[in-house]
C-alpha cells in the first residue's frame, strides 16, 4: 500500500509539473526587452563624448538623397569569403566560407555593425594592394568602411559620424529566427570567457515557475563575439566551428538592443575576425580569443591530447589514421593501469569462494546492520591479510575517465577534424557514421571484452549487463562523431587482446585465511 501511494504521488507530481510547464510555455508573456540591464560604455575623461542623437532627428536634419532600399545588398568575394552587406545600414549580413560553402549566419540574421544614424545612400569600393575597402556613405556626412583583405580573416571597420551615431555591433533579437541554429554570444577578458546561448536569453527556463529567469547578454568587454557556422545538417547541429569576433578600443555599451559602440569625437574603429575556431588563426588575431574553443571541463588534458594528435597527423597526413595511432599510444600509456585492473579482477575471482563462505556465515542475521558491519570488517581483514585492494579494479578505470571525457570534448571542438575524411564511407570524422558500421563494431568489441573479462558477483546481473551495456553504448555512439567511435573501437580491440594475454599467463594464487 505504501509503495503504491508513493508511486501515485510521484506520477501525480510529474503530471502537475508537466501541466504547469505546458501552460507557462503556451500562455506566459515573454520577458519585456526593456528589463535587460543597461551598461554604459566608459567615457574618456580627456575627450568627452558628444551626446548621441536619436536616428529619427538625425534623418530629419540631414539633407540629400533618401536612404537606400532596405532590400539592396552589396557583395564582395575574397580568397576566403563571399561577404554580403545591407546597403541601407552597412550591416554585414552574411559571410560564406568559400572552401566548402558554409554560411556563417542564418539568412534572417540582423547583421553585424548596423549603423544607427541616418541610412546610407551609396556604397563604393576602393581597390588597394592588399585588398578592397567597401565604403557606405550618406549626404549627412556619415561613413562606414570595411577594409577587407584579399586573403585573410580580419576586417578593419572604421566609422565617421558628425552626430556621433552609434554602431550596433551585435543585435539582441526579439525571437529565435535571426539567430536560428547559432550557439552562444560571449565576451572575453584576458583570463575568462562569459558565454550565454541565444536560447537561454530568448526562452524562459524550465524552472521559471520556481523563480528561474532568462539570462541576459554577457557583461560588455573589449572583446565580444558569437558562434557562427551553419552546418549542412543544421537541424541536428551541436557544434559551431566558426566565430565572429570583435576587438574594440574600449568596452561597448550594452542595452536591450545589444552591444553598441559609440564614436569618440565622431570617429570609431574596430577589428572584426571572421573565421574558424582554430588555435593558430585565433592566436594571430589575439591570444585570449582561443578561449572560444570549448574543450570542456578537462580543457588542459584536451589541449595535451590534441597536441599529440597533431604531431601524429603531421607524420601520417590523415586524421583518421592519426586517431588510430593516437589510440595505440594512449592504450600503451595506460597499459600498466589496465593490467593491474585485470589482475585485480582475476584476484577477486580467487577470493570468491572465501567471500561467499563469510557471507553465508552472516546470512542468518538478516538485515542486522551491526552484523553487516562485522561481516564487512571480516572481509576487509581477509583482503588485508592477502595484500589485496578490492578497489584495485575500479581505480584504473576512474583514472582513465578524464582522458575519455577530454577526448570527447576535443573531437567535438577542433576545426581540423571538421569534414576530415578517413576512408570509404567515413568522409567526415566530426559527424556520425552514416551507416552505423563503427558503432556496431564498437558495441560488438565491448561485448567481447566484457565476455572474456573476469567478473564476480551475481551471475544473472552480470549476464544482463553483458548485453545491456554494449547495447546502450552502441545507441549512444550511433550519434557521436565517427572519430570518437573509431577511437573507442580500436581502444576496445587492443584491450581485448591485452585481457586475453593476461588471462592466458595468469596463475591463481593461494588465499591465506
pLDDT tens digits for 216-269?
999 999 999 999 999 887 777 778 999 999 999 999 999 999 999 999 999 999
Strand ranges in 219-315 using DSSP code E only, listed in sequence order: 223-228, 242-247, 253-255, 258-261, 267-276
Can you tell me which residue has the cell 501552460? 23
Q: Is residue 72 part of a domain?
A: yes
Range of the domain at 341: 306-505
Residue 363 lies in a domain: yes
CA distance 479 to 433: 8
DSSP label at residue 435: T
Q: How far is CA 482 from CA 102, 212, 488, in A?
A: 21, 37, 10
Cα→Cα distances 199→160, 238, 409, 468, Å: 34, 13, 21, 35
Question: What is the number of residues in the chain?
Answer: 513
Nearest residue to 478 via CA among 144, 470, 336: 470
Domains in the chain, number = 2
CA distance 242 to 223: 16
Based on the domain organization, do 186 and 319 belong to the same domain?
no
The values of phi and psi at residue 454, to 5°, are: -65, 140
Largest CA distance in the chain: 102
Quick check: is 357 in a domain?
Answer: yes
Give yes or no: residues 492 and 401 share one domain: yes
Of 294, 320, 350, the position where a domain reaches its end is 294
* Residues 282-329: tens digit of each pLDDT: 999 999 999 999 888 888 889 899 999 999 999 999 999 999 999 999
Same domain, 377 and 277: no
Q: Are residues 268 and 319 in the same domain?
A: no
Does one domain contain both 336 and 375?
A: yes
C-alpha torsion angle, residues 413, 416, 422, 428 (rounded to 10) = 60
Asked whether residue 136 is assigned to any structural domain, the reply reads: yes
Check residue 39 and report its DSSP letter: B
Between the alpha carbon of residue 316 and those of residues 310, 312, 319, 482, 501, the distances in Å are: 10, 6, 8, 19, 29
Report yes or no: 172 and 36 within 8 Å, Cβ to Cβ: yes
**What is the pairing mode between strands 184-188 and 193-197?**
antiparallel
C-alpha distances out from residue 137 to 38, 89, 125, 141, 145, Å: 30, 10, 11, 7, 9
278 inside domain: yes
- The whole-number pLDDT of residue 84 equals 98
Residue ending a domain, among 233, 262, 294, is 294
- CA–CA gap between residue 71 and residue 88 (Å, rounded): 8
Residues 119 and 215 in one domain: yes
Residues 409 and 444 in one domain: yes
CA dihedral of 419, 420, 424, 425, whole degrees rounded to 10: -30
Interacting residues of 290 by C-beta distance below 8 A, sequence separation 6+: 279, 282, 283
Are residue 266 and residue 379 in the same domain, yes or no? no
Residue 21 in grid coordinates: 510547464
Q: Are 492 and 452 members of one domain?
A: yes
Tell me the HSE value of 287 on the side-chain side, using a 13 A CA sphere.
2
- Distance (Å, whole) CA 351 – CA 32: 67
Residues 391, 261 share a domain:
no
Which of these three, 267, 294, 321, is where a domain ends?
294
Instruction: Specify the 3-state DSSP secondary structure of 330.
Output: helix
Q: Which residues contact 99 (CB under 8 A, 6 or more apart)?
A: 80
d(CA 408, CA 111): 33
Q: Give the separation between CA 146 and CA 110, rounded to whole angstroms.
A: 17
Q: Are 323 and 491 in contact (CB under 8 A)?
A: no
Give a yes or no: residue 6 inside a domain. Answer: no
**Cβ(446)–Cβ(469) under 8 Å?**
yes
513 domain-assigned: no
* 259 and 330 together in one domain: no
Grid cell locating 400: 582513465
Tell me if the pTM is above 0.75: yes
Q: Which residues of the chain have pLDDT under 70?
A: 1-65, 391-393, 395-396, 454-458
Q: Please report whether residue 326 resides in a domain.
A: yes
- Other CB atoms within 10 A of residue 160 CB: 16
Domain shared by 71 and 208, yes or no: yes
Amino acid at each position: 500500500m505504501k509503495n503504491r501511494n508513493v508511486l501515485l504521488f510521484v506520477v501525480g507530481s510529474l503530471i502537475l509539473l508537466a501541466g504547469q510547464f505546458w501552460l507557462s510555455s503556451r500562455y506566459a508573456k515573454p520577458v519585456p526587452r526593456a528589463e535587460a540591464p543597461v551598461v554604459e560604455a566608459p567615457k574618456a575623461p580627456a575627450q568627452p563624448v558628444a551626446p548621441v542623437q536619436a536616428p529619427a532627428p538625425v534623418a530629419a536634419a540631414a539633407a540629400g538623397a533618401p536612404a537606400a532600399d532596405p532590400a539592396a545588398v552589396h557583395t564582395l568575394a575574397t580568397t576566403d569569403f563571399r561577404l554580403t552587406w545591407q546597403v541601407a545600414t552597412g550591416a554585414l549580413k552574411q559571410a560564406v566560407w568559400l572552401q566548402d560553402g558554409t554560411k556563417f549566419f542564418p539568412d534572417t540574421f540582423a547583421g553585424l555593425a548596423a549603423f544607427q544614424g541616418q541610412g546610407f545612400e551609396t556604397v563604393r569600393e576602393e581597390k588597394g594592394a592588399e585588398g578592397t575597402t567597401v565604403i557606405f556613405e550618406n549626404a549627412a556626412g556619415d561613413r562606414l568602411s570595411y577594409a577587407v583583405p584579399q586573403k585573410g580573416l580580419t576586417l578593419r571597420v572604421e566609422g565617421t559620424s558628425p552626430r556621433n551615431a552609434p554602431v550596433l555591433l551585435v543585435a539582441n533579437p526579439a525571437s529565435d529566427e535571426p539567430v536560428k541554429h547559432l550557439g552562444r554570444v560571449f565576451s572575453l577578458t584576458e583570463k575568462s570567457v562569459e558565454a550565454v546561448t541565444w536560447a537561454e536569453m530568448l526562452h524562459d527556463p524550465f524552472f521559471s515557475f520556481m523563480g528561474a529567469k532568462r539570462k541576459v547578454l554577457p557583461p560588455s568587454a573589449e572583446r565580444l563575439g558569437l558562434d557562427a557556422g551553419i552546418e549542412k545538417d543544421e537541424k541536428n547541429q551541436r557544434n559551431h566551428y566558426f566565430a565572429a569576433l570583435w576587438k574594440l578600443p574600449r568596452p561597448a555599451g550594452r542595452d536591450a538592443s545589444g552591444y553598441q559602440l559609440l564614436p569618440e569625437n565622431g570617429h570609431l574603429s574596430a577589428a572584426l575576425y571572421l573565421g574558424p575556431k582554430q588555435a593558430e588563426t585565433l592566436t594571430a588575431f589575439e591570444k585570449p580569443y582561443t578561449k572560444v574553443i570549448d574543450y570542456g571541463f578537462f580543457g588542459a588534458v584536451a589541449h595535451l591530447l590534441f597536441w599529440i594528435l597533431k604531431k601524429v597527423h603531421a607524420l601520417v597526413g590523415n586524421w583518421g589514421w592519426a586517431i588510430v595511432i593516437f589510440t595505440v599510444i594512449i592504450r600503451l600509456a595506460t597499459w600498466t593501469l589496465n593490467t593491474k585492473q585485470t589482475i585485480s579482477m582475476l584476484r577477486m575471482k580467487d577470493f570468491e569462494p572465501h567471500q561467499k563462505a563469510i557471507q553465508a556465515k552472516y546470512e542468518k542475521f538478516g538485515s542486522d546492520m551491526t552484523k553487516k558491519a562485522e561481516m564487512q570488517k571480516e572481509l576487509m581483514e581477509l583482503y588485508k591479510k592477502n595484500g589485496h585492494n578490492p578497489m584495485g579494479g575500479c581505480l584504473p578505470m576512474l583514472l582513465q575517465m578524464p582522458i575519455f571525457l577530454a577526448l570527447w570534448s576535443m573531437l567535438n571542438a577542433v576545426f581540423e577534424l571538421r569534414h576530415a575524411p578517413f576512408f570509404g564511407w567515413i568522409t567526415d570524422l566530426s559527424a556520425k557514421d552514416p551507416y552505423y558500421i563503427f558503432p556496431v563494431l564498437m558495441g560488438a568489441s565491448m561485448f567481447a571484452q566484457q565476455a572474456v573479462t573476469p567478473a564476480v558477483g551475481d551471475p544473472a546481473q552480470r549476464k544482463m549487463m553483458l548485453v545491456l551495456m554494449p547495447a546502450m553504448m552502441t545507441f549512444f555512439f550511433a550519434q557521436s562523431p565517427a572519430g570518437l567511435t573509431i577511437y573507442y573501437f580500436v581502444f576496445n580491440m587492443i584491450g581485448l587482446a591485452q585481457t586475453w594475454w593476461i588471462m592466458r599467463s595468469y596463475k591463481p594464487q593461494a588465499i591465506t585465511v
